[in-house]
Amino acid sequence: MARIIAVMNNDTPFPDDLTLPSRDRLAQTPAPPDVIPWALLGYFEGELDLIQDLAGRYPQMAIMSLFNARAVGTRAPRGIATIATQDGAASLIVEVDAPSQAAQFTFIVGSLVGVRFRPGALSPLDRAAWLEPMRREQGEVAFLWNAHRWSHDYLIGAATRTSAHLFAFSPSGVQAATRLTPEVNRRLTEWLAGYWR
């Protein structure tokens, strides 16, 4: 479905002789690294409040208030944190591979549709640049991305003493957003810090 939406939103008309598999391949092609998303461009140029702008796009974000973490596997250990709304209508599953410290974030709606984001290989500096502002809870913008920035999946977060916002983006145009209670944000960042030491 996300690929179909990406194709429909493409401003470039497709030639009539392009086959459906070719269209699908074009829709999955990430934007070149020099094409910065508009919201990021506005933020970097100091023209917009990024978190306020993104929150305005998702005015009824699910508020995640439940947190549960567990470890699985012995040969390839991973941590899995499940974060959910009180009614279970939406959830976020965060998985971390212990040996590589790779993480993935899956946003789930109604136990029916899940969208997974994999920020790629994150350096210790990349992980700290996201964890530290999220732990300070001062409303700072935190980017979870590597040197490829918006050319790969990435997350943007901001935490205050009253809530934390998480936004996930893919170069193919897929996006997801949620809010966390302060307690869930603290538990998530502490849990991630344990794997990302």
Alpha carbon distances (Å) from 151 to 10, 30, 32, 48, 169: 17, 6, 7, 22, 10
Q: How much is the pTM?
A: 0.80
- pLDDT, tens only, 138-179: 999 999 999 889 999 999 999 999 999 999 999 989 999 999
Mean pLDDT of 102-121: 92
**What's the rounded Cα separation, in Å, for the pair 132 and 81?**
19
Name all domains of the chain by residue range, CATH numbers in brackets.
50-195 (2.30.31)
Phi-psi map region of 82: left, alpha, beta (phi>0 left; psi -120 to 50 alpha): beta
Residue 34: the pLDDT is 62
Using DSSP bridges, classify how beta strands 142-144 and 113-117 pair: parallel, antiparallel or unpaired.
unpaired
Identify the pLDDT of residue 35. 83
2-61 pLDDT, tens digit per residue, is 433 343 344 444 444 444 444 454 455 554 556 888 999 999 999 999 999 999 999 999
